[in-house]
Amino acid sequence: MAGRILKRIGRSDILPDVEFLVRHHLLMEQTAFRRNLSDAQTVIDFSTKFENPVLLDYLFVLTYADLSAVNKNVWSDWKGMLLYELYRKCREILDQRLTSEQVHTAVRSRHEAALKELVETLADTVAALR
């Protein structure tokens, strides 16, 4: 149906993007709200759906518009935070053209740095108590 409408108004050039959005219009909310966004593989799998970052931008805006227009009680800051977290993580993968291994390595490095910082903070706290 979208194809016929776009042809009629002379916008066949955007047909692939519109078809993608129609086909995947629930993908972002389902991933953000039903999957573990701390699991690197979840974000990697999600990012494979996009040929380019612009499609991610479009889907992010469409998802926000869809959820916020349904009912004022459907949208919440929590949902916005989850959607933005998925968007931000996926955008990083797409912009930097990261491989699956690079994503996993970056996640491990961030976890190790956070753990090191926590241990140092705790060590300083314990030393101050003595």
The answer to whether residue 21 scores a pLDDT higher than 90 is yes
SS percent in the chain: helix, strand, coil, step 5: 80, 0, 20
Kindly state the average pLDDT of the residues 14-28.
94
pLDDT at residue 71, rounded to an integer:
79
CA pair distance 106, 52, nearest whole angstrom:
21
Identify the CA nearest to 84 among candidates 33, 12, 22.
33
- Write the single-letter amino acid at 51: E
pLDDT category of residue 27 using cuts at 50, 70 and 90: very high
